[in-house]
Structure 1
Amino acid sequence: MAKLIQTEPFRSLYVCSKIAAVVSKIPFWALLYSIGADRPRPSWTLKKTLAVNALRELIETPMETGDFRLRDPAMEVAPRDCNGARFIWVDKVPSNLIVGEIKRFADACGTESVRVPAYGFGRWGAGAEIPLAHDGEKVLMHIHGGAFVMGTAHPEDVTSYVPRGFLEFGDSTFTRTISIEYRLSASDPHPANGPFPAALLDALAGYLYLTRTLGFKPQNVFISGDSAGGNIAQSVVRYLRDHPDLGVGAPGGLILFSPWADPTGTHYGAPNSVAFENSKSDFVRPQTAPDSMGQYGLRSLLGKISVQDARQNPYIAPGSLEMSPDAVRGMFSGFPPCYVVGGGSETLLDAIRTLQERMAADIPKDVFVYDEVADAIHDFVCLPLWEPERSNTFRSIIDWIQRL
């Protein structure tokens, strides 16, 4: 049955039937909550409650159908299919800028930097030439989430509400943002593809495009990432921090939304963990489930890297509990200003708290913010219905950027 629904037309029929089943449940759920059934969080509106229920039932569908790759990163997208964004080609990273530990990992798995797509939101112009940076102009580069194995930077993806959100609430700070279409990872039962550090190299290519091709000053570039994209974002900044000799320069700030800080899962079962309690109110399943998206994402990301080695590596698992005190000390020294957002009801909250504690120990207090939004789910900033929390979060971040 599993292989059958991974082929057409059975895949489409299965997805349609699953969506129909969820839609048919909505009136029943609405009735239950209307007559007094306990909501996962008492503060939630009926709309939020129904949305989380639906997401929980649908989020693992790609694991069943095998349909992860929504966009081919080697293909150009026509302007009419870009939903108001601008398609942009980002050149690969020059080989002399891939050094140290990341070069060793890349060589070990046969990964090279490649040209990747990106999507520009806001004022990217309509002419053949993309406008260069104006004097003092700020820009935001976003890295989308999706457990390293699914999603897209294309405006059709729900994560596009992040780069759009910065324009919506920060039009006096940003006139354009960009989202990078990095290579997704894959592993058995699918052909292996894109293990670490492929996504890091693609995000680095995006940063170099902004600073070296368009001429943005590094301090005027802000990097954001949601979920797995938050993990990738911190790894790019870490690489820039670790190799100042490359002369690339550090970004002006790092913004992480619900970052997947510990894909290796060291927090599950830890004392005082909130993961299993929060899994009752979040749409993300605990990573302990062997068939979960989290487990597949981890396997796909690591490739030939062992889980034990990954747990010691801040590029992959900066929130791991199995790092030595010496490794944790100074882990974020030299990082730019950082703003971390976590949801109070999300399954990944334990690792997010560990990450922010480590950041707070190394980054000056006047430029570091941790915002744990009460009763918010994973990646709530990607859901326009999650109000007023989403709007308040973007306004707070824009205010923070303006005060830097």
Structure 2
Amino acid sequence: MDDLDKEVILPRNALSFTDKVQMFLTILPAPVIIAWALLKSPFTAYGRSKSWKRIVIDRVTLRLVSGMSRKQIRAFFGPTSKAYSDFINSKKLPPVVEDVGEDARLFWIGPKNADRVLLYLHGGAFVFGTTASSPAFWSYMQDNLEKKGKPTSTAILDYSLVPDKMFPTQLKQTVLAIQHIVGSGVKPENIQLVGDSAGGVLIHEVISHILHPVEGVPELSLSSPFGGAYMMSPWVRLRDTPAKVLETDREGRGDFLTRRAGMYWANKVLDGVPESAYPYLDANTAPDDWLRGMDKCVKRILISAGSAEVLRDEIIKYAKTVEKLHKETTTVIQENGIHVDPFFDFLVQEKDLGKLTPTILNWLDEGFHA
């Protein structure tokens, strides 16, 4: 597709001269910030557990997400189409793009002819696209599943961002993508939903929609449950008092996500959204039995968080709720991990991928039939 990475910039997303100056000033102190982070790294558990490349990229990301506005960070990282285009070009793969309706597209990594599918729902707080590391991560999973005798196709859903489109648009686009994949002949038990941060919220929304249909969103009726659902660092708490939305006792311990940034993004996502939508968007404020029956929607659940990430306690709380309602739930807390930690290993091309990435691979492998 010739216009794969050509994004139409709406007036609300266009950067002014002042915006560009502010972005420059945000980035300007990076060398000093990096030097200080490296100097103090031997004195923290997080710093001792990470390579110098990880310390650098984690600290720079913290500076970016905490210092830029919604449209600035969206412009800096670029659209999901650019991350996809950059990755497939680096691998010399042809673009495989399918429209699924409602301005949503599926970006396939390699051919889409396998009977097994990973459908990736990207993070970015619903306000910016995925980054270059996520296609690399899921390509790694795809390659290694094939080595295990489970050839798998992988699709990235390019969904609309806030505030261009608000809830339930992203849920509707996800449902249309699932219907498209099922309509192509893939059985639901051979589909595993995978998502990080806001993508984890989308997985929660899909399950919630099956159990509590949203008006205006197509009904999702499956012949069998999904084979699995993996939520990496799901953004399960958006709405609360500022002191509770994101835990503050781990701020400054390595995570790039801060309470202030999370609150700012959450306000964008929830702006004008009716209270009836909160159980779908704000998972940890849903009623205790909201997900009752989810075991009929998906066979297995994997939830992971980093021990150093700001959202850790909220993710553990959500996982415990899920565990009560679905016996095939696995929760993994990565020691010294931060928000969506495995992606950063791929961003800096780490050779040692730690324990979480192999755990995810083995879990996905077990979820696909031979």
TM-score interval, normalised by the smaller of the two chains: 0.7 to 0.9
Task: Find runs of 4+ consecutive structure 1 residues off by over 4 angstroms.
Answer: 8-14, 39-42, 69-73, 75-82, 241-246, 308-311
2:194 corresponding residue in structure 1: 224
- Asked whether 1:58 is paired with 2:24, we answer no
- Asked whether 1:201 is paired with 2:172, we answer yes
What SS class does the counterpart of residue 355 from structure 1 fall into?
helix
1:378 corresponding residue in structure 2: 339
2:178 is matched by which residue type in structure 1? Y
Q: Does the Cα contact within 8 Å between 2:119 and 2:154 map onto a contact in 1?
A: yes
TM-score, length-normalised on structure 2? Answer: 0.78
Distance 2:125 2:194 in 1: 16
What SS class does the counterpart of residue 342 from structure 1 fall into?
strand
Give 1:40 deviation, angstroms.
4.3
2:256 corresponding residue in structure 1: 283
- Asked whether 1:43 is paired with 2:49, we answer yes
2:3 corresponding residue in structure 1: none
1:279 is matched by which residue type in structure 2? E
Q: Does the Cα contact within 8 Å between 1:341 and 1:372 map onto a contact in 2?
A: yes
Larger Rg: 1
Query: Relative to 1, partners in 2 of residues 1:10 and 1:173: Cα closer, same or farther, differing over 3 Å?
Result: farther
Distance 2:313 2:135 in 1: 26
Q: Give 1:115's match in structure 2, choosing from 95, 98, 103.
A: 103
Structure 2's unaligned 5+ residue stretches are: 1-13
Give 1 or 2: higher helix fraction: 2
% identical equivalent positions: 18
Distance 1:160 1:266 in 2: 35
Q: Give 1:210's match in structure 2, choosing from 169, 181, 184.
A: 181
- Asked whether 1:353 is paired with 2:316, we answer yes
Query: Relative to 1, partners in 2 of residues 1:266 and 1:206: Cα closer, same or farther, differing over 3 Å?
Result: farther
Give 1:301 deviation, angstroms.
2.3
Query: Relative to 1, partners in 2 of residues 1:328 and 1:238: Cα closer, same or farther, differing over 3 Å?
Result: closer
1:4-403 equivalences in 2 (<5 Å): 7=15, 11-12=19-20, 14-33=22-41, 37-38=43-44, 40=46, 42-63=48-69, 66-68=72-74, 83=89, 84=93, 86-92=95-101, 114-124=102-112, 131=113, 137-152=115-130, 157-171=132-146, 172-186=149-163, 193-212=164-183, 214-242=184-212, 247-249=221-223, 250-265=225-240, 268-269=243-244, 275-281=247-253, 282-286=255-259, 289=260, 292=261, 294-306=262-274, 309-311=276-278, 313=279, 315-320=280-285, 323-325=286-288, 327-328=289-290, 330=292, 332-336=294-298, 337-364=300-327, 367-383=328-344, 384=346, 385=350, 387-402=353-368
2:270 is matched by which residue type in structure 1? L
Give 1:362 deviation, angstroms.
1.0
Query: Relative to 1, partners in 2 of residues 1:77 and 1:317: Cα closer, same or farther, differing over 3 Å?
Result: closer
Distance 1:18 1:275 in 2: 25
Q: How many residues are matched?
A: 340
Aligned-residue RMSD, C-alpha: 3.5
Distance 1:64 1:329 in 2: 31
Query: Relative to 1, partners in 2 of residues 1:119 and 1:331: Cα closer, same or farther, differing over 3 Å?
Result: same
Give 1:245 deviation, angstroms.
7.5
Give 1:379 deviation, angstroms.
0.4
Query: Relative to 1, partners in 2 of residues 1:377 and 1:77: Cα closer, same or farther, differing over 3 Å?
Result: closer
Structure 1's unaligned 5+ residue stretches are: 1-5, 93-113, 125-130, 187-192
What SS class does the counterpart of residue 275 from structure 1 fall into?
coil
What SS class does the counterpart of residue 395 from structure 1 fall into?
helix
Q: Does the Cα contact within 8 Å between 1:62 and 1:68 map onto a contact in 2?
A: no
2:168 is matched by which residue type in structure 1? P
